[in-house]
Structure 1
Amino acid sequence: MKLDRIKDVANAVLYEGYILYPYRPSSIKNRQRWTFGGVFPIAFDRQGDASHMETQVLVRGGGRAAVDAHVRFLQIVKREVGCLASPARALPTDGEPALTLVHSLNVDGRELLPWEEAIEREISLRGLGLDDLTSQTSVMPFRFEAARELEPICARDGAVVGALIRTSHAIEGLIETKARKLASDLWKLTIRIENITPLSNEILTDRAAAQLRAFASTHSILTVRDGAFVSLLEPPDDLRADVAQCQNAGTFPVLVGGEDNSAMLSSPIILYDNPAIAPESAGELFDGTEIDEILTLRILAMTDAEKREMSSVDARARALLERTHALTAEDMARLHGVMRNGPSATDVHDPLSETKAVEKPRLVSLLESGLNLSVGARVRLHPKSGGDILDMALEDKVAIVEAIERDFEDRVHVAVTLLDDPGRDLGAAGYPGHRFFFSRDEIEPLATGETP
């Protein structure tokens, strides 16, 4: 069960960068993919494209301590679109039909495009005793065979007009695991992942071809029994020197899964200890360093043609688009302005909760120096001179009074939201970024019926 929870985070790493906004094959950002955790064939000699990934971590434990390792990556599958010269009742059962490769195929309003999909791969090593690994390195070879599949493309009347052709190449690798005893209860564990896939001479300098034989988004999940991992980010003082000697190539190991330190995620993406999926997130958006609210709003703002292209990418992009359109107003509000208290991803609190008990009551209206102002009134903003760029931008803007508040020194502040702010409802709900405070002499009430 714990491994399942860890895999929620690991799967986010696995598909980080799988497809980037604007989620269309025609966008430049999506013509250079698989940028995280690439392990290329050792025969492909190109600077910057590593052929191995190595993890070194410290483990506290006695002679019975044992480690399980789960090495995971994506194998790239090339998807092509083939068109038949004339419709057929079915694809032949023996051999391949004569297909013409095309850049796109429109079938009854559905556009089909070439793309690179992926297969999830996992190799598990279980019960690796640390004591045993000090005397003998564990070497685990693995291989996944080549495959070629044809999926018929059918028109509305059932006739086969073409096929999606999916091709994956054979790939091979080695996982080497060893340990070194540093003290009676301290071990340095090393796991090396190497791509030994052979390459023919004609593709030795072809990066695109080599990438089809690479391990993409490579990472490892490590768990230990009768022991505990040591944080490499915040090690105890007595182990700082040992942690400094840990050399990690292409990966950043962090504690994951809880307070017992029995698991680590060795990720090609820099994370903090015990990372977690934000509970407000409705699902994976794939985009590096994603901000759910911004990407969601951008997806909703795409044109119908752009959304059709996005839905043609693959099932994951299609599900993302459908999920985004299904979000409710409440779902959207949860994505905005969340603040957390402490390390727990679910420990969300109101940033003003600590002062609510001693808050002074809000005013519903203000009558001062001839100024009659109430909640809901329209006002024109005149920020004081000498302010920042935001004050300059708000000059002469028309706003709605949302609240009239007093601070602990009895100074009055008027909270407003901009009339033309598409997120004004968020400001009315008290979220920062859409609500602004001004003093009484910085606002000019608009007369009834006055045009903003």
Structure 2
Amino acid sequence: MTDLTERADTRFAAARQIADAVLFEGYVLYPYRASAAKNRLRWQFGVLVPPAFGRDRGEHAHQRTECLMEPREGAELSLELRFLRAQRRTVQQADAHGGFATVDELDLADRVLVPWDEGVEERVSLTVPVADLAAGVTYPFLLPAEDDEEPVYDGDRLVGRMLRRCEEVDGVLRLSTADLAGPYAALRLTAVVENTSDWTPRAGDGRDQALPRSLVSAHLLLGLDRGGFLSSVDPPEWARAAAAGCHNEHTWPVLAGPPGSSDVVLSSPIILEDHPHVAPESPGALYDATEIDEILALRTAALTDREKREARGTDERAGAVIDLADSMPAEVLERLHGAVRSLREVTDPAAAAEPLSPQTPWWNPAADRSVDPDLDSVLVDGRPVAAGSRVLLKPGRRRTDAQDLFLHGRTALVEAVLHDVDGSVHLAVTVEDDPGADLWRAQGRFRYFQPDEVALLEEA
């Protein structure tokens, strides 16, 4: 067993951008101030707490990854466990006698310093021959407690200090493989990450006391120098049953790196698709994936000077978001307004290549020459359904709006056949005996069903 080599580090580099997005997801949310209610309950993904705390509290102390791989002879598995360690920051103000007193905030000219838990990035890396994994490999790790002191100046005057404290964090990695029955030399890889801290909470201790002793946003990067991994969601047919039998707890493995590659897996506490990537329009980390980048950037730029000073004093990363929003050029902001990426094959290249009018905006259906909602059709039970077809509605119980269940058995007229960017097909319909059908049609407001939620009616 050796330290992670430079070659393995290069292999992970392509996947590290999306891994960083996982690591810092929800780290600090708009409006980027510690005083905001949404920033008082932090870190919801990949938190591995001390075992004694997680018991009976709905928190867990381990992650388990299982995936399939086809290593070649002499292959080595590289592993990188990445997580944040909560570093507790206390703010103190200097007094006239050379001492310091703990305060709730320290108001400076450029920022307002407040108590806060900073996230310190940690990595545990190792490389091990795949042949050694059959017997199982256990790799314990320990991060000792640390203290740090930083003086705070307002201009040339010492006005206070920040005290930082990292608690001890210890854990273990357990790796093993098992042979798969089948035509190929494939293995099931099991990688377990455990928090093994012996810290025991006292009466009244809550999540705030457990977080500094936890692995936060924990995830794994796995790499093979020879061979590759199999997709957990789209494995080859011979491995489908084995992939379905993989047991993953509190994490999910996907193929990472460029499309077509299979030598790296990212096992993430956030469910992703194979080969995830950050949109090229994204100007930088905003730490808040529940918001639209354009809206978030505009809202951030509109914060008051006092709010921006508090954000800069909350965390360096929050301050970077403020600076990004304040300095974002108009052309970059315009790119955030939206992008359409079609995953479907263009059925009529000549039509798709036909130039659009400069007045046709990107969101207008006419902007995509490869589809025509008024003329397109889709097969339902082997027969084409298009605009003007009459159908019987039979909405599914699991995939449809609950209100649509009341339309079960009603007849409807198909108004358009629509394709979304994920390649799914939707039927826009109006209910035939709805007295407001003409009004909905005039306004372009329809009900939407998938092809397997309707049955074609015989035309009179």
Partner of 2:430: none
Partner of 2:220: 220
Q: TM-score, normalised by structure 1?
A: 0.73
Unmatched 5+ residue regions in structure 1? 89-97, 344-348, 364-383, 393-452
Partner of 2:251: 251
Change (3 A) 1:263 1:362: closer
Give the superposition deviation at 1:303.
2.6
Which amino acid in 1 is paired with 2:354? A
Specify which of 159, 167, 180 is matched with residue 157 of structure 2.
159
Partner of 2:233: 233
Change (3 A) 1:174 1:362: closer
Q: Is the 1:204–1:210 contact (alpha carbons within 8 Å) kept by the matching residues of 2?
A: no
Partner of 1:86: 96
Secondary structure at the residue paired with 2:189? strand
Give the superposition deviation at 1:106.
1.3
Q: Is the 1:60–1:230 contact (alpha carbons within 8 Å) kept by the matching residues of 2?
A: yes
Partner of 2:323: 322
Q: Is the 2:112–2:314 contact (alpha carbons within 8 Å) kept by the matching residues of 1?
A: no
Secondary structure at the residue paired with 2:131? helix
Provide the rounded CA distance (Å) in 2 between the counterparts of 1:238 and 1:204.
Answer: 53
Provide the rounded CA distance (Å) in 2 between the counterparts of 1:285 and 1:223.
Answer: 28
Give the superposition deviation at 1:332.
1.1
Provide the rounded CA distance (Å) in 2 between the counterparts of 1:260 and 1:177.
Answer: 23
Partner of 2:432: none
Which amino acid in 2 is paired with 1:320? V
Change (3 A) 1:168 1:46: farther
Provide the rounded CA distance (Å) in 1 between the counterparts of 2:291 and 2:223.
Answer: 28
Residues 1:74 and 2:71 are matched in the alignment: no
CA deviation digits over 1:311-346, x for unaligned, max 9?
221111111110111111110111112012449xxx
Q: Is the 1:235–1:243 contact (alpha carbons within 8 Å) kept by the matching residues of 2?
A: yes
Partner of 1:148: 147
CA deviation digits over 1:21-45, x for unaligned, max 9?
1211111110000111000111222
Change (3 A) 1:65 1:342: farther
Which amino acid in 2 is paired with 1:285? L
Specify which of 23, 26, 48 is matched with residue 17 of structure 1.
26
Q: Is the 2:172–2:195 contact (alpha carbons within 8 Å) kept by the matching residues of 1?
A: yes
Residues 1:61 and 2:35 are matched in the alignment: no
Change (3 A) 1:328 1:361: closer
Partner of 1:196: 196
Q: Is the 1:256–1:263 contact (alpha carbons within 8 Å) kept by the matching residues of 2?
A: yes
Q: Is the 2:111–2:312 contact (alpha carbons within 8 Å) kept by the matching residues of 1?
A: no
Change (3 A) 1:27 1:174: same
Q: Is the 2:282–2:336 contact (alpha carbons within 8 Å) kept by the matching residues of 1?
A: yes
Unmatched 5+ residue regions in structure 2? 1-9, 361-436, 446-460
Which amino acid in 1 is paired with 2:188? K
What percent of counterpart residues are identical? 35
Provide the rounded CA distance (Å) in 1 between the counterparts of 2:327 and 2:23.
Answer: 25
Partner of 1:267: 268
Change (3 A) 1:81 1:240: same
Specify which of 40, 45, 49 is matched with residue 31 of structure 1.
40
Specify which of 2, 6, 10 is matched with residue 11 of structure 2.
2
Give the superposition deviation at 1:291.
2.2
Provide the rounded CA distance (Å) in 2 between the counterparts of 1:146 and 1:326.
Answer: 38
Matches within 5 A, 1:20-419: 20-44=29-53, 45-86=55-96, 88=98, 98-108=99-109, 110-126=111-127, 128-134=128-134, 136-156=135-155, 158-183=156-181, 184-200=184-200, 202=202, 205-258=205-258, 259-342=260-343, 355=352, 357=354, 386-387=439-440
Change (3 A) 1:22 1:314: same
Change (3 A) 1:99 1:248: same
| Segment drifting more, 169-178 vs 4-13 | 4-13
| Segment drifting more, 46-55 vs 298-307 | 298-307
Which amino acid in 2 is paired with 1:74? L
Divergent runs of 4+, >4 A: 358-363, 387-392
Provide the rounded CA distance (Å) in 2 between the counterparts of 1:68 and 1:303.
Answer: 47
Q: TM-score, normalised by structure 2?
A: 0.72
Change (3 A) 1:107 1:205: closer
Provide the rounded CA distance (Å) in 2 between the counterparts of 1:190 and 1:37.
Answer: 18
CA deviation digits over 1:258-313, x for unaligned, max 9?
21300000011111100111111110010133421121122123233322222221
Secondary structure at the residue paired with 2:51? coil
Provide the rounded CA distance (Å) in 2 between the counterparts of 1:353 and 1:154.
Answer: 66
Which amino acid in 2 is paired with 1:166? R
Provide the rounded CA distance (Å) in 1 between the counterparts of 2:152 and 2:97.
Answer: 10
Give the superposition deviation at 1:131.
2.6
Q: Is the 2:71–2:224 contact (alpha carbons within 8 Å) kept by the matching residues of 1?
A: no
Change (3 A) 1:332 1:199: same
* Larger gyration radius, structure 1 or structure 2: 1
Change (3 A) 1:386 1:201: closer
Q: Is the 1:203–1:209 contact (alpha carbons within 8 Å) kept by the matching residues of 2?
A: no
Which amino acid in 2 is paired with 1:312? G
RMSD of aligned residue pairs (Cα, Å): 2.7
Provide the rounded CA distance (Å) in 1 between the counterparts of 2:103 and 2:51.
Answer: 33
How many residue pairs match? The answer is 353
